[in-house]
Structure 1
């Protein structure tokens, strides 16, 4: 029987830890680390059925990919039903997911204390900033998570400090609370091995394409319960009309819930350009000095030269803002640079980037260019075959060969080669999110 068992759940003030046992055929998808998450609020009084949600949110998609069942002593009954709904969505989206059953010795329906609070997953990017603008009357707690794009490794300490400083500053200026969560959810899972096995089925990486909606929201459950959060928002990456296989969508995130908290996939009805419009209105009325942070390269500002920086800068221009006043070094000379990079396949692009450049192209048709350089770029973009530009980009051949080798290796061979595989994993970690 293929199975995953959640063992030894322990809490020490703000730290949650537990062990996971698997049947032999699933061992390659897990490292030898216990699952661990650190919060900045005590979770001592949170029921075990809520405390188990973070680890279930990480392991259940792995179980579903292998037709495995999951065993746990106690689980919140509301979350157990949520998992059934999320499983139905994911299995309907991906043919390679087989599904599985959660078995619990006990289900609980705890009585949370009076809530009234809300939370928002926040990085300071376009999507999460737009969600803040839309829900600012609620004064949501800004929730930032370390463990996905910023890993728990000491090498990422400086990036995490930059993010927490930026979010804390944003919150302080607006009288908001913050919540910082640190987890080893992707080093507890063997993410490179998941990527090796399933990259051929998905557009991005395992976590971005399959796991991050359920995973990130579920990670917040003990904190949300302890803080009395009735609502927890996660900003949409895509929008209505984009039918992409992606791990965070309304039919995933809106189904995630546990006793006391309902999660929400926010701003799905707005395109990325319309979200920038909402931010532009907020800049004009309340925040003339607002900076955004979307860079794929740096966390201490925007490099101004990666695809996401350029895409955001062009979008800001189209929304009537000057990029250089909001965190992006940008001038008319950069339009030719963007065109050359897109035509030359310099950036690894997916279908979501294609839709985002199409969104920009649609807005450009309605906008009068401000310079000859801008006019020339928009005329080129109008005629560009964006599908072809996406197909010309892709990961290096060496990465594809590494994935194939790891996917087909027996466990004994894989375990012997694991140090070399993890050395290469930085090049295999493909993450795309503007949140």
Structure 2
């Protein structure tokens, strides 16, 4: 038999499901040694059948099955999801034509699950800009808010980041009379992404988590709860937009193909750029006068205001003529100087996609709206900041100051080794 991943047991206890699986020896290098994945919810799993519970495990490993030309073996699986697997594979294949997406899925029993929807929508809600945009667009449906933390290891460990996330989303839901679905898992760690990346990153052009894994992991974790509450549509906010050149595991060509029982998935706001989303959020909350705390740093307890993602969001808000302090950011003194210092140190690391998708759009919007910008000292230099030229200059300086000393040391070490061998 070809390389194989087999789901051996699904163990359900109250609000937790554990998956125990076995893999061929040639595939073991991609998995943590105990071959175990789990999901824990803040609602019990009563009446959720194993054929639905098998979906998250299948969804997490399918991309690996495809790129390694392996076989996934399942005792049972929801019929609707089983029927969309081939469409998902084809969507990935089109996205990554340089890698062959092969492999097969063998299912002993496909179960036809169905329900009459009782909940119009559930929305994956991190508290970030994308998630807030989607919430504003569907809030009339009173969506259930789904928030996840997938970075545990063999079991749940205390995480200050998760506790901060949970406090934020629960408070938000309470203020809007909504229901929270909270999910904890090890889906981000039960596979060894570093090993997969070493083997496939060059072929794919993207990391395992970014390019293939995270969309299916996040969406599928929500499906057991969507089944329990008879949800018609799971909404996931877009990360990118129409016309982008980047590839991403969460893309409408993939997400919109996912089916489960009687439910569907909708990849929302793909027609909006990130700057469009900034405008949607700040205009809405400025109009309603409702306090809002955007959560941009997903691996920090609060927005650090020092990373690229924080700074691009801060500047996006500034470009719309609003004060970022009113949207969950503790702005550093002398924002203009803070941004200038950041670029001096980090512009060399910014990808062309990040510059073109986000920073150029911020510059353009700030130029259009400069009469309303609250930080006029930014206008003195940022509008004319040449990312390409400054990046080229920074890279040259980096190579001179870092590369040549490293090369000199390596040559010295090699000569010393040669000398030692002769002596």
Q: What is the DSSP-based 3-state SS (H/G/I as helix, E as strand, rest coil) of the residue aligned with 1:35?
A: strand
Q: CA deviation at 1:364?
A: 2.3
Q: Could you list the runs of 5+ residues in structure 1 that have no partner in the other structure?
A: 398-435
8 Å CA contact 2:156, 2:185 repeated in 1 = no
Larger Rg: 2
8 Å CA contact 2:38, 2:187 repeated in 1 = yes
Which whole-Å CA distance do the structure 1 matches of 2:122 and 2:181 have between them? 9
Q: What is the DSSP-based 3-state SS (H/G/I as helix, E as strand, rest coil) of the residue aligned with 2:368?
A: coil
Match of 2:8 in 1: 7
CA separation of 1:338 and 1:265: change in aligned 2, threshold 3 A: same
Q: CA deviation at 1:332?
A: 7.6
Which whole-Å CA distance do the structure 2 matches of 1:303 and 1:192 have between them? 26
Q: CA deviation at 1:339?
A: 3.0
2:377 corresponds to 1:373: yes
8 Å CA contact 2:336, 2:377 repeated in 1 = yes
CA separation of 1:203 and 1:277: change in aligned 2, threshold 3 A: farther
Which whole-Å CA distance do the structure 1 matches of 2:229 and 2:389 have between them? 45
Match of 1:106 in 2: 109
Cα deviation digits, residues 317-370 of structure 1 (max 9, x gap): 112220112221336822233233224336743344221112212212312254
Match of 2:148 in 1: 145
Which whole-Å CA distance do the structure 2 matches of 1:17 and 1:83 have between them? 22
Q: What is the DSSP-based 3-state SS (H/G/I as helix, E as strand, rest coil) of the residue aligned with 1:210?
A: helix
Aligned residues: 393
Please report the TM-score for the alignment, with normalisation by the length of structure 2: 0.86
Match of 1:135 in 2: 138
Q: CA deviation at 1:241?
A: 1.0
8 Å CA contact 2:363, 2:383 repeated in 1 = no
Match of 2:184 in 1: 182
Q: CA deviation at 1:200?
A: 2.7
2:387 corresponds, among 384, 409, 423, to 384
Match of 1:325 in 2: 326
2:310 corresponds to 1:313: no
Q: CA deviation at 1:293?
A: 1.2
Q: Which moved more, 1:282-291 or 1:54-63?
A: 282-291
8 Å CA contact 1:152, 1:183 repeated in 2 = no
Q: What is the DSSP-based 3-state SS (H/G/I as helix, E as strand, rest coil) of the residue aligned with 2:381?
A: helix
Q: CA deviation at 1:108?
A: 1.4
Which whole-Å CA distance do the structure 2 matches of 1:252 and 1:72 have between them? 22
Match of 1:30 in 2: 31
2:305 corresponds to 1:304: yes
8 Å CA contact 1:12, 1:44 repeated in 2 = no
Match of 2:217 in 1: 215
Please report the TM-score for the alignment, with normalisation by the length of structure 1: 0.84
Match of 1:72 in 2: 74
CA separation of 1:30 and 1:287: change in aligned 2, threshold 3 A: farther
* Residues 11-410 of structure 1: pairs in structure 2 closer than 5 A: 11-33=12-34, 34-94=36-96, 95-148=98-151, 157-202=159-204, 204-295=206-297, 298-299=300-301, 301-330=302-331, 333-345=334-346, 348-354=349-355, 355-368=357-370, 370=373, 371-381=375-385, 383-385=386-388, 388=391, 392=395
CA separation of 1:151 and 1:306: change in aligned 2, threshold 3 A: farther
Which whole-Å CA distance do the structure 1 matches of 2:275 and 2:144 have between them? 25
Q: What is the DSSP-based 3-state SS (H/G/I as helix, E as strand, rest coil) of the residue aligned with 1:385?
A: helix
8 Å CA contact 1:152, 1:184 repeated in 2 = yes
Q: CA deviation at 1:136?
A: 0.5
Which whole-Å CA distance do the structure 2 matches of 1:313 and 1:218 have between them? 32
Q: What is the DSSP-based 3-state SS (H/G/I as helix, E as strand, rest coil) of the residue aligned with 1:102?
A: strand
Q: CA deviation at 1:83?
A: 1.7
Which whole-Å CA distance do the structure 1 matches of 2:201 and 2:224 have between them? 31
Which whole-Å CA distance do the structure 2 matches of 1:27 and 1:152 have between them? 16
Q: Which moved more, 1:10-19 or 1:170-179?
A: 10-19
8 Å CA contact 1:203, 1:350 repeated in 2 = no
Q: Which moved more, 1:286-295 or 1:180-189?
A: 286-295
CA separation of 1:297 and 1:218: change in aligned 2, threshold 3 A: closer
8 Å CA contact 1:17, 1:36 repeated in 2 = yes
8 Å CA contact 1:297, 1:306 repeated in 2 = no
